[in-house]
Amino acid sequence: MTEQTGQVRFNQRERETGGKGEAAAIETELLKDYRFGQQQLIEIWGQACALAITKAYPLSSLSKKQPTVLVICGPDQNGSIGLVCARHLRIFEYEPTIYHPKRSSQSLHQDFTVQCEKMDIPFLSYLPTEVQLINDAYNLVIDAMLGPEADISNIKEPYSGILGTLKQVKIPIASVDVPSGWDEEEATQDGIHPEVLISLTAPKKCAACFSGKHYLAGRFLPYDIQKKYELNLPDFPGTDTLIEL
Amino acid sequence: MDKMNHSSAEAEVETIEPLRYLSKGEAAAIETELLKDYRFGQQQLIEIWGQACALAITKAYPLSSLSKKQPTVLVICGPDQNGSIGLVCARHLRIFEYEPTIYHPKRSSQSLHQDFTVQCEKMDIPFLSYLPTEVQLINDAYNLVIDAMLGPEADISNIKEPYSGILGTLKQVKIPIASVDVPSGWDEEEATQDGIHPEVLISLTAPKKCAACFSGKHYLAGRFLPYDIQKKYELNLPDFPGTDTLIEL
């Protein structure tokens, strides 16, 4: 099904990956058939996320005295992508602080944590429930808690509490891949309201309802997969690894 | 450790310390620390380096600057890490709409390196089964050659086939050569007079000692090194502009 979007950039309507199933299927193919490594993919995504943040929130645009960023990382892949993103932001001279309440037991994810610790990135031991403290200390929050595979009908602590806090913060939220807590298939009215969404590889269905600044980050997907899933990805300019949708 | 230090012993904020050129041993030590203490993964590092290499190629040889009808690039990959970096570089060049062809005569038995090969095959990047010895064929078919054969750890006193033969061919090609990390066959510590003559050198992380004698276009690619390592080895890396992951030295 093609329709004219009226936008010069792409002729065909970009097809969001159907449901959880498709996003997961693509990743499985990448790992199994295309022999990408999980560590490799997370590095690619995390770096692309960081570049999206520098586009959406350039250093010069930050209002606080220090270029502080709060990065909230979940226990699984979405969280690790957040860790890599934080590490690259540090290299790009931002000052990320990480809140990573539940660490994964997998050594892969632990490695990403060590890499951040060794970059002298501070890790919070708890998240203030006093929202004003967050508003005052940070320019923005990066939500890297729950990815498209998360079961949002059953969000456990501490994430439900954190989401409650995030609904009240006044500073911008940028979500990695999907806004944590949003139904993967449709936007939730009473979920968090990120200003920026950074879709990885291809947007997920709930992104169709997203009305803020939307980036597609990560430029590595083999053509055969793009064709097979009819992703109709837009043309990235030059050597950019991200594009604003 | 020879440093040309024009400043006095006291710290002077304005003085820019010169960039350090690493010996074989230091390069290996840094990598070991990255893997052991900093818990970087080999796969992760190779991806970072390979992508940065590809970006350097796009800077040195933009698509629009290539003279042949197709944006063809020959990527010659060795069996070890330098070769895998070449494979990742080729993959990214393909995504950047170049047309890389890979010559990878000796495959590693390590599954890590094999994975990088499969990733390239699945991008429909052609793999040559042999390298023409007729140099004119190479000159005609490709815009440039990327030399990703031997890295700084290679024992250049004992270069085996097929690499010695390939190096012989490369000394005769008329198209530009871009070398990954060190020009294959160069002594890591000093330039060899009768080695290959790359036009471009893409140093990874920090330049190696032999790069001090390199007179072509020199890029430093890869922007991920933790500050503690930079300080420990006194690398004095230059400031990368904006969010660039490479810089021309």
Q: What is the pLDDT of residues A56-113, one digit of tens each?
A: 999 999 999 999 999 999 999 999 999 999 999 999 999 999 999 998 889 999 999 9
Facing residue for A111 by CB, picked from B39, B122, B242: B39
C-alpha–C-alpha distance, residues A244 and A235, integer Å: 11
Residue B184 neighbours by CB under 8 Å, 6+ apart: B78, B82, B147, B149, B150, B154, B163, B167, B196
Cβ atoms < 10 Å from Cβ of B59? 18
Range with lowest mean pLDDT among B8-17, B115-124, B219-228: B8-17
Facing residue for A239 by CB, picked from B48, B58, B228: B58
Q: Return phi, psi of residue A234, to 5°.
A: -70, 165
ipTM value greater than 0.90: no
Measured between beta carbons, the chain B residues lying within 8 angstroms of A118 are 37-39, 226, 228
pLDDT at B189 over 80: no
Cβ atoms < 10 Å from Cβ of B218? 18
Confidence of residue B7 (pLDDT cuts 50, 70, 90): very low
Query: ∠ CA(B243), CA(B39), CA(B33), 5° rounding?
Result: 90
Q: Which of A42-51, A227-236, B149-158 has the highest mean pLDDT?
A: A42-51
Nearest alpha carbon to residue B173 among B230, B224, B133, B231: B133
Q: What's the pLDDT score for residue A209?
A: 84
* Tens-place pLDDT, residues B109-141: 899 999 999 999 999 999 999 999 899 999 999
Measured between beta carbons, the chain A residues lying within 8 angstroms of B228 are 118, 120
The 8 Å CB, 24+ separation contacts for A237-241 are: A238/B58, A239/B54, A239/B55, A239/B58, A239/B96, A241/A47, A241/A48, A241/A51, A241/A217
Measured between beta carbons, the chain A residues lying within 8 angstroms of B96 are 239
**Using the beta-carbon criterion (under 8 Å), do B119 and A33 form an inter-chain contact?**
no
Interface check for A92 against chain B (CB to CB < 8 A): the answer is yes
Facing residue for A54 by CB, picked from B39, B96, B243: B243
Asked if residue A167 lies in contact with residue A137, where contact means CB atoms within 8 angstroms, the answer is no
Asked if residue B8 lies in contact with residue B193, where contact means CB atoms within 8 angstroms, the answer is no
Domain boundaries, given as residue ranges, for chain A: 35-244
Measured between beta carbons, the chain A residues lying within 8 angstroms of B243 are 50-51, 54, 92
Q: What's the pLDDT score for residue A154?
A: 85
Q: What's the pLDDT score for residue B13?
A: 55
- The CA-atom distances, in angstroms, between B64 and each of B61, B143, B173 are 8, 12, 22
Confidence of residue A186 (pLDDT cuts 50, 70, 90): low
Look over chain B and give the mean of its residue pLDDT values, rounded to a whole number. Answer: 91
What is the percent of chain B where pLDDT is above 90?
A: 78
Buried b / exposed e along A69-84 (16+ C-beta atoms within 10 A): bbbbbbbbbbbbbbbb
3-state SS assignment for residue B247: strand
Nearest alpha carbon to residue B142 among B96, B60, B74: B74
Facing residue for B226 by CB, picked from A34, A47, A119: A119
Fold for domain A35-244? Rossmann fold (3.40.50)
Between A209 and A56, whose confidence is greater?
A: A56
Residue B83 neighbours by CB under 8 Å, 6+ apart: B77, B104, B108, B113, B148, B149
C-alpha–C-alpha distance, residues A143 and A122, integer Å: 17
C-alpha–C-alpha distance, residues A159 and B192, integer Å: 60
CA of B46, closest CA in chain A: separation in Å?
9
pLDDT at A3 over 50: no
> Helices in chain B by DSSP H: which ranges?
24-36, 42-60, 81-95, 111-121, 135-141, 163-170, 227-232
C-alpha–C-alpha distance, residues A87 and A50, integer Å: 8
pLDDT at A20 over 50: yes
What would you report as the CA-atom Rg of chain A, rounded to the nearest whole angstrom?
A: 17
pLDDT at B212 over 90: no
Q: What's the pLDDT score for residue B148?
A: 97
C-alpha–C-alpha distance, residues A104 and B141, integer Å: 50
Residue of B nearest to A222 (CA): B123
Nearest alpha carbon to residue B135 among B91, B94, B168: B168
- Provide mean pLDDT across the span B81-96: 97
**How many H helices and E strands in chain B?**
7, 8
